[in-house]
Amino acid sequence: MLLIAAFVGYGATGWFGLFISLVATVLPSAAALIILLKILQHFRQSPVVKGMTLLVQPVIAIIMLVLTWDNSEESIDSIGILQFLGIVLISLWLLPKENTSGSTYRYRLCLRRYFLVLMNI
């Protein structure tokens, strides 16, 4: 949506139109989000707000699951099942465990950073 707004704004009046269209697209949503978060912060001790935030957590989990599933299908199609499974296994191994010692945690953290840099090449 931002790209469409930027394209139309640039086509209408050049760089100034691009800037104005992006601001007009982003600013209302950002302002609404800030205002809503301020309201939630003000009423955070309310049982209704606590219940609402607890009910949102499963929805977020389902959205993340669907997103992961879709991305997994695309990855398998593009790089193959063996490379995909290799990346998954390495990623799971590099996840920090709660009861690991400090040196093991630092070692895995360094490996994870190296792996993430390697994947972004």
Q: How far is CA 46 from the centre of its chain?
A: 28
Does residue 67 share a domain with residue 88?
no
Does residue 96 share a domain with residue 60?
no
Which residues, other chains included, contact 115 with Cβ-Cβ below 8 Å and sequence gap of 6+?
90, 91, 94
Does residue 22 share a domain with residue 3?
yes
Q: What Cα–Cα distance (Å) separates residue 33 from each residue in 2, 30, 93, 108?
A: 17, 5, 37, 36
Q: What integer pLDDT is reported at residue 113 of this predicted model?
A: 67
Residues in the chain: 121
Does residue 104 share a domain with residue 92?
yes
Q: Domain residues for 100?
A: 80-121
Does residue 62 share a domain with residue 36?
no
Q: How confident is the model at residue 31 (pLDDT cuts 50, 70, 90)?
A: very high
Does residue 98 share a domain with residue 111?
yes
pTM: 0.47
Report how many domains make up the chain: 3
Does residue 53 share a domain with residue 32?
no
Q: What is the pLDDT of residues 64-116, one digit of tens each?
A: 888 888 888 888 899 999 998 888 888 877 776 655 555 556 666 666 666 66
Say how many C-beta atoms besides its own lie within 10 A of residue 111's C-beta: 13
